[in-house]
């Protein structure tokens, strides 16, 4: 690995960040179209208001939206800020995980785990799903399969007890969900909570997550608070993804 220098690493991190923004652009398509049960491959991207086909320039991640002033070039209808925000956050996730882990399997594990977690959170906060989103299933599988593979985890008895606890806590939420009409909404909440608890990089983070979740759920019992509760839970996941990004790869060592 003599050839892999620091400047090459910085350059590749930049390239991976750009790639991440494209991945974010694709995530937007998945989020919007899966809610409408449409194909993610076809037809090509068009304005959601006037249906005008978008030019490659309009589709440049983050900057396309900024150059257009957040409105469609053709019909001047506002374009949701969800587009640039998702693109920017996906760029952040992939870029930072590469910067911290370097090329290799660890990069795929860390960025994959965080990206699935993030997209599932966006699907959750939009609440347009009337059935189980493939992404929420992916979220469950990701946490089950990827999490134990991530470095920095040694399965001593204390850690195992916490993960078993997290599993039963999430299972309890899922069971309560089954008695509710809006099952899918509770299911997605259980899936996200499960990842959030599993991904907590330390005992303190774990208990803070449990405490905040409990407060949010208590608040959600009141009709007027329900919408805020969903947004608060989304925000909690975003904060934890950021903590995960900075804390988790800490276990990797990239030595030059
Ligand atoms: Zn338009």
- pLDDT digit string (tens) for 75-112? 999 998 999 999 999 999 999 999 988 888 888 888 98
Q: How buried is 203 (Cβ within 10 angstroms: 0-12 exposed, 13-18 middle, 19+ buried)?
A: exposed
Which has the minimum average pLDDT: 83-92, 145-154, 232-241? 145-154
Q: With contact defined as beta carbons under 8 Å apart, do 117 and 195 qualify?
A: yes
Provide the percentage of residues in the chain whose pLDDT is more than 70. 72
Q: What separation in Å is there between the alpha carbon of 71 and the centre of ligand 1?
A: 8
For residue 123, give every residue at least 6 positions away whose Cβ sits within 8 Å of its Cβ, in sequence order, or none: 31, 34, 35, 129, 133, 135, 136, 188
- pTM reported for the whole predicted model: 0.81
* Cross-strand pairs, 53: 46
Q: What separation in Å is there between the alpha carbon of 93 and the centre of ligand 1?
A: 30
Q: What separation in Å is there between the alpha carbon of 49 and the centre of ligand 1?
A: 5
Can you give the pLDDT at residue 88?
A: 97
Residue 172 CA to residue 178 CA, distance in Å, equals 10
Buried b / exposed e along 126-161 (16+ C-beta atoms within 10 A):
eeebeeebebbebbbebbeebbeebbeeeeeeeeee
């Amino acid at each position: 690995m003599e050839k892999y220098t620091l400047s090459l690493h910085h350059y590749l991190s930049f390239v991976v960040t750009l790639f991440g923004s494209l991945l974010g652009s694709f995530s937007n398509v998945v989020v919007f179209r899966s809610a409408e049960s449409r194909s993610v491959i076809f037809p090509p991207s068009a304005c959601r208001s006037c249906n005008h086909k978008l030019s490659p320039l309009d589709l440049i991640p983050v900057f396309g939206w900024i150059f257009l002033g957040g409105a469609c070039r053709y019909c001047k209808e506002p374009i949701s800020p969800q587009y640039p925000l998702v693109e920017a956050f996906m760029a952040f996730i992939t870029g930072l995980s590469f910067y911290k882990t370097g090329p290799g399997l660890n990069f795929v594990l860390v960025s994959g785990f965080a990206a699935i977690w993030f997209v599932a959170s966006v699907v959750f906060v939009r609440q347009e799903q009337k059935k189980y989103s493939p992404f929420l299933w992916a979220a469950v599988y990701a946490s089950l399969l990827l999490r134990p593979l991530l470095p920095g985890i040694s399965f001593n008895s204390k850690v195992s007890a916490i993960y078993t606890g997290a599993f039963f806590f999430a299972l309890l939420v899922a069971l309560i969900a089954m008695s509710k009409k809006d099952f899918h909404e509770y299911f997605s909440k259980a899936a996200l909570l499960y990842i959030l608890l599993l991904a907590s990089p330390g005992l303190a983070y774990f208990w803070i997550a449990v405490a905040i979740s409990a407060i949010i759920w208590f608040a959600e019992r009141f009709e007027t608070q329900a919408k805020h509760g969903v947004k608060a839970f989304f925000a909690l996941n975003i904060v934890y993804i950021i903590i995960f990004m900075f804390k988790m790869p800490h276990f990797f060592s990239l030595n030059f």
